Amino acid sequence: MATNQVDIKRDNFENIQKAWEGDLWDREHLGTQLTNYVDRLQCGAVLALDARWGEGKTWFVRHWAKHLDDTEHNVIYLDAFANDYLEDPFLVIASEIASKLDKSAENKPLVHKFKKAVAVMQQGLLTLAPTLIASMISCALTGGIIPLIKIDSEKITDKLDDAIDKVTENIGEKVTEAIQAKIDSYEEEKSSIIAFKQTLAQLAENLDKPLVFIIDELDRCRPDFAIRLIERIKHFFDIRKIVFVLVMNKNQLINGIQHIYGYDNESSKVYLEKFIDFDIPLRNHVNILDKNKSNLEVISKLLKLVGEESVDIALVVLLSINKDISTRELKRKINLYALLKKEKLENNIFIALGVIKGARDLFHDMERIAVLIMKMKQGNENVSGLNMAHFNIENFKEIVEKEFNVELLIINDYLENVSMMEDLRTRYQHNTYEIEYTKFLNKYAFKPSEEMQYHLFQQQYLNYIENSVWLEG
């Protein structure tokens, strides 16, 4: 491996100096749209920002939060995963809102009143939780084992009465009184909820702009915590001028609902939709699958972050990535390439190709890159393969110049060499071909050898990359 140090850039979300700096995917476009939308949204809402893992959701909402803060919006960012050790998310949400309003609201007595309402609500939510009651009943009956009560359909009323009497006798006076007190306090708790929501609504109404509450990492939370958090928002925080943005992999959350409630997939989707007003898919405004000059610049910027300046490497990466690659996976592969690259560019084009494609047939993969480029010329759309013995390198260079506005070095040299090899082979100049082909392979091999053959060349790269895949973790 190369001896030079590699600087792998990591996002520092706690200290963003300038919103949207390093925005390779033009996410600012969506951020501007969302800001304008939120400014018009006075009714309050729950938005779901949906994308699969690794698509840059956290990068987007962190930079959007910085943008909102810079433009004097009221914004809260919460990492839900960092708080999912808690039993109930109500206090986390309420405390974040109270803290924000304490800094910005002019009516301090009203903020104090809201904090008191939060305390009352939290006490009510935690008092004699159903799981605690069930546990106490179980232990009181038979040391933790609840006997199976078989109820004859003809005597169901009598059996139920007997069962209730037996439970009441066994659970003890204190638990019975506690349950009765819970029933008696129902109206009081209902009044507490009304008072809580009225106080919060009063505070929100005094805000110049809606409060944007971003809740990130929902899909990494315990399923029960994530679902309860969404339920709490709808039940207690559905207030005018408060907009919640839930950042999630929606399919993952639907799977969690299936697990918790036992619903089928469709019912789980319907259940989740009850709590969400609008879905916002996070899409790259820049489509990295388009093999064009703009996206070559995107790849070049990513490579420059890890110290790679070669446009040949950038083009190899751009033309090798597949349609399913996520932003995170692309960055991970570029970081892996940076750790594996050698001093020689002749090695590095194949290292880059192997990291992206898997190093199973490097020469074939390089030919596919040449085919993709040749197909970019009008009239060549149906090209599926190349006759390398008669390969027109000047035509290839013209297409690269027109489509990408760059001049390649290593790739051009490689294709010229391949063309020369094929010309020798097709003219049956076996002795000359064998000598020149060995030289050709050694030019790009890690360890030159007089006995070099393609399968040995291929194995060098395969072993080098596969023995280093642990670096991806």
The pLDDT value given to residue 316: 95
* CA 280 vs CA 19, 34, 391: distances in Å: 20, 9, 48
Q: What is the pTM of this model?
A: 0.66
Q: Mean pLDDT for each 10-residue chunk of the chain (473 residues)?
A: 51 86 84 90 89 88 96 95 91 94 85 90 63 42 39 49 57 67 72 90 91 94 93 94 95 91 92 92 64 87 92 94 80 90 94 88 92 87 86 94 94 94 86 92 92 92 78 45
Q: Hey, what are 206's tokens?
A: 């005094």
**Interatomic CA distance for residues 379 and 122, integer angstroms:** 70
Crossing angle of the two packed helices 311-320 and 345-357, in degrees rounded to 10: 20
Residues contacting residue 171 through CB under 8 Å, at least 6 positions apart:
136, 137, 140, 141
Q: Hey, what are 200's tokens?
A: 């919060």
Question: Where does residue 307 fall: left (phi above 0), alpha (psi -120 to 50 degrees), or beta otherwise?
Answer: left
**Interatomic CA distance for residues 362 and 354, integer angstroms:** 7
The pLDDT value given to residue 10: 64
The pLDDT value given to residue 289: 54
The pLDDT value given to residue 169: 60
**Domain 24-281: assigned CATH number:** 3.40.50.300
Spatial contact of 286 and 322, defined as CB atoms under 8 Å apart? no
The pLDDT value given to residue 292: 81
Domain ranges of the chain: 24-281, 293-472
* CA 232 vs CA 47, 187, 226, 443: distances in Å: 15, 19, 10, 65
> Rg of the Cα trace of the chain?
32
